[in-house]
Amino acid sequence: MTRFIRPEHLPAWHQLHELAQQGQAPLRELLEDKQRHAKLQFNAAGLSLDASHQRVDADVMQALHGLAQESGVMAHAQAMFRGEAINSTEQRAVLHVALRGSEQAEPPWGQEISTAVSTELNRYCSFAEQLRGGDCKGFGAERITDVVNLGIGGSDLGPRMATEALSHLDAVWTQPLVRLHYVSNVDAWSLATTLAPLQASRTLFVVQSKSFTTQETMTLFASARRWLLDAGCPQADLHLHLAAVTAKPALAQSQGISSERCFRVWDWVGGRYSVWSAIGLPLTVAIGREAYLQMLQGAHAMDKHFLQAPAADNMPLTLALLGVWNRNFLGASTHHVAPYHSALGKLVAFLQQQDMESNGKRVHTDGSDCKVATAPVLWGGLGNDGQHAYFQLIHQGSQTVPVDFIGVRHGHAGLPLAAEHQRVVLLHMQAQAKALALGRPPEETLAALLAEGLSLSEAKRLTPHRSFPGNIPSSTLWMDSLTPYNLGALIALYEHKVFCQAAIWGINAFDQWGVELGKAMALEIESRAG
């Protein structure tokens, strides 16, 4: 095990600090270089990344790659793929990558894990296809038509986000063989409103909980059981309406889940990295086995790119290094993600858990306090809406907010004027990236106001208010269309970005002790309340 070196002690860190002190030419100037666009383009697994609007030049990129080298990022990645216990506080391997499969006869994580993964994949995919095929009957011998997922955090966000993102697929949109519903919040209203239009005899609950102890999920499970019984389901038939995904199968089976409908997620799969495991069951029910396997293939393609691409062409590594530059050297305390496709409405919530539950840490892997900043606050939402809500702060606020724009070149039809809709969506996304980069200096604002016909005094009065500093960094990620493959690649891209940043910051991205104290306090309050 190589000795841990604090990131701020690395030569490249000092070099980057110097470069930040020197400052770089503003984006207005950098973007005049006609070669820049080509130099800062990256392609992988169906995605393309345009990093030309990031505040970097050749010297900065070289120093950032030096930092990656000195931090041993790719050696750490190899260790992850080999199944080493890189989750050091829990002494666990981190092998969500194994869930995407491998065409290697002897994958780095070993054949035994591959066999277990494919066995479980076949189990939950087969169950999903049984449900979709109408082969699962309830207590009234009627086919199951509605599946309600009960889970929270990683037991909800991944499948829920992907179900919405892929809801346009024919397998879902034209003939939803089974309707999917997600309930994560423990407030009764959330479950009550979901269940109100449903028929108990045709409803199945998937109880998703790695620990099978999360109080919110267990409370939802108790109410679901009560709803079934109150609707006339015999106790002996409850199992027809239940399935579970958990790392604790014995616990689930002790609560009425049949072994055939109890699916495994291993402790080397973090909740926020688990959509590729049986936690993806509700998603597979929604979109079908084929589409789900395509999503795994897209993620696997990104895995291969991440491991094999030269550093200079490595998309996840580049995204990570740009984030470190913005966070640690340009002083950005938040990071904004703006998808420009309404089906990606849950992507930001998913990325928030993935990024901030992984890298929202303040202690290095050796137990010492971090002096460098770690994860920024990740926020965002659908870009078109954001322009009319909070982009004001990004354009004219008092802090630099780097933005990831996510564009889908071909929207989905469904309307006679669909092409015009798509043109407007992408026009504004590209205009926002340009406006953030170029801004509008006072002299240009004054001229624009005079050209509008304002008097000189009025134009001078308004110029400070209507000028834009610009030089706000952004990346634009493109995919041709929102396919399962491209969505899988996108999720894996961000997973590996988070991984690389954790390796550079010298923190453990794969534990989440921060949630523990709240749970302990809740138990203490509960026990005192008697």
Candidates 15, 71, 209, 486; binder of ligand F6P (CB under 6 A) is 209
Alpha-carbon distance of 100 to 488, in angstroms, equals 10
d(CA 182, CA 193): 11
Q: Does 224 bind ligand F6P (CB under 6 A)?
A: no
Structure tokens at 310: 């030269």
Q: What are 76's two structure tokens?
A: 């750490």
* C-beta separation of 86 from 31 below 8 A: no
210 catalytic per annotation:
no
Host H or E run for residue 218: helix 215-230
Distance set, CA 304 to CA 106, 372, 482, 489, 501 (Å): 15, 30, 21, 11, 19
Angstrom distances, CA of residue 289 to CA of 125, 180, 340, 436, 469: 6, 15, 27, 42, 49
Near ligand F6P by CB under 6 A, which window of 184-192, 196-204, 208-216, 468-476? 208-216
Q: Is 512 in the site for ligand F6P (CB under 6 A)?
A: yes
Other CB atoms within 10 Å distance of the CB of residue 421: 14
495 a catalytic residue: no
The Cα–Cα gap between 193 and 205 comes to: 15
- Nearer to ligand F6P by Cβ, of 209 and 384: the residue is 209
Strand, helix or coil for residue 47: strand
Q: Which one among 87, 163, 203, 214 touches ligand F6P, defined by CB under 6 A?
A: 214
Show Cβ contacts of residue 380 under 8 Å, excluding neighbours closer than 6 positions. Answer: 336, 337, 338, 339, 348, 351, 386, 404
Q: Is 515 in the site for ligand F6P (CB under 6 A)?
A: yes
Asked whether position 210 contacts ligand F6P by CB under 6 A, the answer is: yes
Q: Which of 14, 519, 524, 526 is catalytic?
A: 519
Q: Which is nearer to ligand F6P, 461 or 519 (CB)?
A: 519
Binding mask 261-280 for ligand F6P (x = CB under 6 A): ----------xx--------
Both tokens of 304, joined, read 């291969």
Judged by CB under 6 A, the chain residues 67 through 96 that form the site for ligand F6P are none
By CB under 6 A, tell whether 463 contacts ligand F6P. Answer: no
| Least distance CB 154 / ligand F6P (angstroms) | 3
Smallest gap from Cβ 86 to ligand F6P, in A, equals 17
The least CB distance from residue 247 to ligand F6P, in Å, is 8
Task: Say which of 120, 216, 357, 495 is annotated catalytic.
Answer: 357
Residue of 32, 34, 112, 388 marked catalytic: 388
End-to-end C-alpha distance for the chain, whole angstroms = 48
- Is residue 458 annotated as part of the catalytic site, yes or no? no
Query: Is 107 among the residues that bind ligand F6P (CB under 6 A)?
Result: no
The helix (run of H) or strand (run of E) holding residue 74 is helix 73-81
- Residue selected from 211, 255, 258, 342 as contacting ligand F6P according to rule CB under 6 A: 211
Are 145 and 101 in contact by the 8 Å Cβ rule? The answer is: no
Q: How far apart are CA 404 and CA 335, in angstroms?
A: 8
The interface region with ligand F6P, picked from 103-111, 167-175, 204-212, 458-466 by CB under 6 A, is 204-212
- Looking only at residues 142 through 181 of this chain, which bind ligand F6P when binding is defined by CB under 6 A? 152-155
- Say whether residue 358 binds ligand F6P (CB under 6 A): no
Of 7-15, 207-215, 222-230, 379-387: span binding ligand F6P (CB under 6 A):
207-215
Closest residue to ligand F6P, based on beta-carbon distance: 271
Q: Which helix (H) or strand (E) covers residue 204, if one does?
A: strand 203-208
Tokens of 333: 């305390």
Minimum Å distance from CB 395 to ligand F6P? 34
Active site residues: 357, 388, 519
Kindly list the residues in this chain that would bind ligand F6P in the complex (CB under 6 A).
152-155, 209-211, 214, 217, 271-272, 357, 512, 515
